[in-house]
């Protein structure tokens, strides 16, 4: 995470992710964490869209290339979820590209396959 100030929404989202990780622990499929995080956001009255379609604008034409945002929170924050041994540069590049394509200023890359969630949490601001 960066040393930047987080909004109340960011703090709530991180809190929801921590709750999911605390409850489930590491070692499950990404889809499980996605569904549980969606439920946690919902019970905390945070609006979100799951598997939000991300078309690619190529030379003025919108193309559906099959990209989906794991979670789009209140049209302000993109959550890219992983359950991998370690985060790699390609994961960061993926989130940053999604943020640029959607013109969203904030994103979180969250790897649930860690002992403590703070080890798997990266924040990005454009």
Q: Is residue 97 in a domain? A: yes
Number of domains composing the chain: 1
pLDDT of 5 reads: 46
What is the spatial distance between Cα 107 and Cα 95, in angstroms, rounded to a whole number?
Answer: 7
User: Is pLDDT larger for residue 114 or for residue 58?
Assistant: 114
Q: Is residue 1 in a domain? A: no
Q: Is residue 84 in a domain? A: yes
pLDDT of 6 reads: 62
The band of 57, judged by pLDDT with boundaries at 50, 70 and 90, is confident
- pLDDT, mean of residues 2-7: 54
The DSSP element (H or E) to which 80 belongs, if any, is strand 77-82
pLDDT of 4 reads: 46
Whether this prediction's pTM lies above 0.85 is answered by yes
The domain of 43 spans 8-125
Average pLDDT over the chain, rounded to an integer: 94
The band of 3, judged by pLDDT with boundaries at 50, 70 and 90, is very low
Bridge partners of 49?
72
Q: Is residue 13 in a domain? A: yes
Q: Is residue 2 in a domain? A: no
Q: What is the pLDDT of residues 14-50, one digit of tens each?
A: 999 999 999 999 999 999 999 999 999 999 999 999 9
Q: Is residue 3 in a domain? A: no
Q: Is residue 99 in a domain? A: yes
């Amino acid at each position: 995470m960066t040393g930047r100030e987080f909004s109340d929404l960011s703090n709530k989202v991180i809190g929801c992710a921590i709750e999911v990780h605390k409850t489930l622990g590491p070692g499950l499929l990404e889809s499980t964490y996605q569904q549980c995080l969606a439920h946690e956001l919902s019970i905390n009255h945070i609006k979100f869209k799951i598997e939000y379609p991300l078309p690619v604008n190529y030379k003025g034409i919108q193309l559906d290339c099959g990209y989906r945002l794991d979670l789009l929170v209140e049209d302000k924050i993109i959550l890219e979820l992983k359950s991998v041994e370690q985060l790699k540069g390609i994961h960061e590049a993926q989130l940053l590209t999604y943020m640029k394509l959607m013109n969203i200023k904030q994103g979180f890359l969250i790897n649930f396959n860690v002992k403590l969630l703070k080890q798997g949490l990266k924040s990005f601001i454009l």
